[in-house]
Amino acid sequence: MTTDLMARAIGALLRRLPRGVQYLLWAELDLTRRGRLIMSLQLKDTEKASYKLEAVDAKGAPTTLGDVPEWSTSDPAVATVAASADGMSAVVSAVKPGKCQVAVHDPGTGLSGSDELTVVAGVAANLVLTPGTPENQ
């Protein structure tokens, strides 16, 4: 199974879980030398999500990274990322509706992972009435 196909299958299963559980499971990035496993997360423009990074060896056992991981987003106008000091976690905050990639890279090993993020408009909080220009009847 390709990583893209596997990501889609996992994403479809996770969408059936409650939102809080989705965040915990979706936010774990799988870093491999064979390729990047791209997941998908949706946030409202009023939400944020925490990501946790864990390095594992070829047999799945926990290991260390070669350097402090670097986090980024492909479009800071859609979402911003704030990494912890050790780089092993980050908080992604939605800014406005759109799509972007949240990525993490370990310069020491060359490993990287990414997550596709979709930001949607939040729930209506106010109603704004704007009058038109008066005209004759």
Instruction: Give the domain CATH number at 81.
Output: 2.60.40.1080
- C-beta atoms surrounding 31 within 10 Å: 19
Segment (H or E) for 98? strand 98-105
Give percent of the chain above pLDDT 70. Answer: 72
Residue 133 lies inside a defined structural domain of this protein: no
- Could you tell me the two tokens for 115? 């997550």
Residue 41 lies inside a defined structural domain of this protein: yes
Residue 134 lies inside a defined structural domain of this protein: no
Q: How far apart are the first and last CA of the chain?
A: 68
Asked if pLDDT for residue 22 goes beyond 60, the answer is no
Instruction: Determine the distance from the C-alpha atom of residue 93 to the mean position of all C-alpha atoms in its chain, rounded to a whole number.
Output: 9
Residue 40 lies inside a defined structural domain of this protein: yes
Give percent of the chain above pLDDT 90. Answer: 41
What integer is the mean pLDDT of 52-78? 88
- Could you tell me the two tokens for 130? 């704007």
Residue 128 lies inside a defined structural domain of this protein: no
Comparison of pLDDT for 68 and 124, the residue scoring more: 68
Question: Do residues 68 and 86 make contact, with C-beta atoms less than 8 angstroms apart?
Answer: yes
Asked if pLDDT for residue 10 goes beyond 70, the answer is no
- Please give the residue range of the domain that contains residue 53: 3-120
Residue 135 lies inside a defined structural domain of this protein: no
pTM as predicted = 0.65
Residue 65 lies inside a defined structural domain of this protein: yes
Question: Do residues 45 and 122 make contact, with C-beta atoms less than 8 angstroms apart?
Answer: yes
Domains of the chain: total: 1
Question: Do residues 69 and 87 make contact, with C-beta atoms less than 8 angstroms apart?
Answer: yes
What integer is the mean pLDDT of 50-57? 85
Residue 68 lies inside a defined structural domain of this protein: yes
Q: What is the pLDDT of residues 76-135, one digit of tens each?
A: 999 999 999 999 999 999 999 999 999 999 898 888 888 889 999 988 888 889 999 999
The pLDDT assigned to 15 comes to 57
Question: Do residues 96 and 119 make contact, with C-beta atoms less than 8 angstroms apart?
Answer: yes
